Amino acid sequence: MQAPVLVLNANFEPINVCDTRRAIGLLLNEKASLVLNGRGEIRTISHVFPRPSIIRLKKMARHPRPHVKLNKREVLRRDDYTCQYCGQKATLSASALTIDHVIPRHLGGQHTWENLVTACANCNHRKGGRTIEQAQMRLLRQPAAPPLSAVYIFGRHLKDKDEWLPFVEGW
């Protein structure tokens, strides 16, 4: 009941990911229709319900444009869990990586997508509170805000859900 379900707006635009329990509630209340059932069925004593993979709302839902929140998890994801100074990739967990301000905050650097990068503990310590020029280091890739595409926004759910790709790639 906790499996993710892609929620499409009435115009087939992906707007959210909810769990199976919420999706079945929307289907039973006739607020949504089943688009794809790729997971079998759920059996109760008296009913059999399809286990949805993708549902579509029957009425257009107004929602703000999606955006990616600026937090550690999203910076790590944007940088592919790789230190942007030495190229070391996180092996077991992302806890071995830290977030570094390219221009330190005490020197006027902002807490923005363009000033934050993923760094391993050694590189972050080596750079310290200096700029990359002062520390004689270089970035592998210039930091920028992640794309606002549906593929990126819903990307962490797409690993094992190939059936979602046709609905997500067009947006």
Tokens for 66, please give them.
Answer: 């999606």
According to DSSP, the β-strands at 41-43 and 48-50 are antiparallel
* Residue 62 confidence (pLDDT): 87
Could you give the CA distance from residue 25 to residue 46 in angstroms, rounded to a whole number? Answer: 17
- Give dist(CA 51, CA 49) in Å, integer: 6
Report pLDDT for 37: 82
Segments of the chain scoring below 50 in pLDDT = none
- How confident is the prediction for the chain on average, in pLDDT? 87
Cα–Cα nearest to 77, from 3, 151, 152:
152
Given the candidates 3.40.50.720, 1.25.40.10, 3.40.50.2300, 1.10.30.50, the CATH classification of the domain at 72-127 is: 1.10.30.50
Do 23 and 52 contact (CB within 8 A), yes or no? Answer: yes
Q: Within 10 Å of residue 57's Cβ, how many Cβ atoms?
A: 18
pLDDT single digits (tens) 135-169: 999 999 999 998 887 778 777 777 767 777 777 77
Q: Where in the chain is the domain with CATH 1.10.30.50?
A: 72-127
Written as six digits, the tokens of 37 are: 């059932």
Give pLDDT, residue 93: 61
